[in-house]
Amino acid sequence: MNSPDNSNIFRMERELAHSGCNAIVYIDEEHNADRPVTLHTYRSGAYTPGQPVVIVQHGMLRNGDEYRDFWIPAADKHKLLIIAPTFSDEAWPDVDHYNNGSVFSSTDGKPRAGDSWAYAIVGRIIDSLRASGVVDHNKVYLFGHSAGGQFVHRLMSSQSHELFHAVAPANAGWYTMPTFAHAFPEGMDGIGLNQQNLQRLFAYPMMILAGDQDVATDDPNLPSGAAALRQGPHRYARAHHYFETGKREAKRLGVPFNWTLQTVPGIGHDGRAMSAACASLWFENRLPSDKELDALAGQHVA
């Protein structure tokens, strides 16, 4: 990682000094200076730098403020700091720049350097949080739903895992298969990744979350290209396909496979409900009760 930019550190020191909600402009000066990211944050009243930090990646609506708010009940209950990096449509247009990480140059179509990808910004945000004194440990959790689930598992396919205590992509529309049989984003080939990246991905205890009611096949936001359809007809099936492919490939290579696939019963494509389920699994070691899940069910938040 490069040294954090002092202006980002100063903004974090100032804006995160008190509890409550905030919006902080983060500038990735060295790699993406013309593309700001807004950090929608919530610091619970009981949070101290020794408590967990949750990075939350929003869906295709680019609604980091909503995703931040989805995590406020868990933050108050478990003394958390929530950071929701928001990649606006204006600065990071279309799926290529957010879901697919701005991996390719818009001028010549060739892969950019890995530390210039959108995925790498998350690590630099964490470095700046540490330098600001707001975070002083490795208890950083990473969650993403829908397009954010795409973002998170591709981040884990390509970036260092050292910063993360736990990671959970949820209800992704489709997946980058953990093989080099296909070019990115269908697979990991053609962008400078190697077997070390793949083995590291398999070894990480990533928790793939899948709502068992996320089975719509006519959702206009469901990726419907040939590559996505090869993974299954809907998001729930595609999560299983991704997990089983990873399990098979790790066995073929003879390397550890530490992923888990966690079904969330009764929940569809709902960022609020999946956020609550993830928080409960991480900080209470259980899914919400049937009654709690029933109360959460029925929404549709990308």
Residue 106: its pLDDT value, please? 86
Within a domain: residue 1?
no
Residue 301 included in any domain = no
pLDDT tens-digit profile of 137-173? 778 999 999 999 999 999 999 999 999 999 999 999 9
- Give the pLDDT confidence of 164-218 residue by residue, as tens digits: 999 999 999 999 999 999 999 999 999 999 999 999 999 999 999 999 999 999 9
The model's pTM is 0.96
Does residue 94 form part of some domain? Answer: yes
Mean pLDDT for the stretch of residues 282-287 = 97
Q: Which domain holds residue 226?
A: 6-296
What pLDDT digit, counting tens, does each position of 102-123 carry? 999 988 999 999 999 999 999 9
Mean pLDDT of 35-55: 96
Distance CA 4, CA 185 (A): 29
Q: For the ranges 3-17, 208-222, 239-253, which has the lowest average pLDDT? A: 3-17
Question: Is residue 164 domain-resident?
Answer: yes
Kindly state whether residue 250 falls inside one of the protein's structural domains.
Answer: yes
Per-residue pLDDT, averaged over 125-131, amounts to 95
Contacts 24+ apart (CB under 8 A), 28-31: 28/121, 28/124, 29/5, 30/2, 30/5, 31/115, 31/116, 31/120, 31/121
In the chain, the percentage of residues whose pLDDT exceeds 90 is 92
**pLDDT at residue 1 in the model:** 46
Give the tens place of pLDDT for each residue, 21-33. Answer: 999 999 999 999 9
Task: Provide CB contacts within 8 A for 37, sequence distance 6+.
Answer: 25, 26, 27, 28, 85, 86, 87, 91, 92, 121, 125
DSSP-assigned beta bridge partners for residue 25: 38
Per the domain annotation, does 32 fall within a domain?
Answer: yes
- Asked whether residue 93 is domain-assigned, the answer is yes
Looking up residue 278, the CATH number of its domain turns out to be 3.40.50.1820
61-67 LR contacts (CB < 8 Å, sep 24+): 61/302, 62/86, 62/87, 62/88, 62/89, 62/92, 62/98, 64/38, 64/39, 64/40, 65/23, 65/40, 66/271, 66/301, 67/40, 67/145, 67/148, 67/271, 67/275
Judge whether 302 lies within some domain.
no
The torsion angle over the Cα atoms of residues 55, 60, 63 and 66, rounded to 10 degrees, is -70
Confidence of residue 3 (pLDDT cuts 50, 70, 90): low
Total domains in the chain come to 1
Instruction: Indicate whether 136 pLDDT > 70.
Output: yes
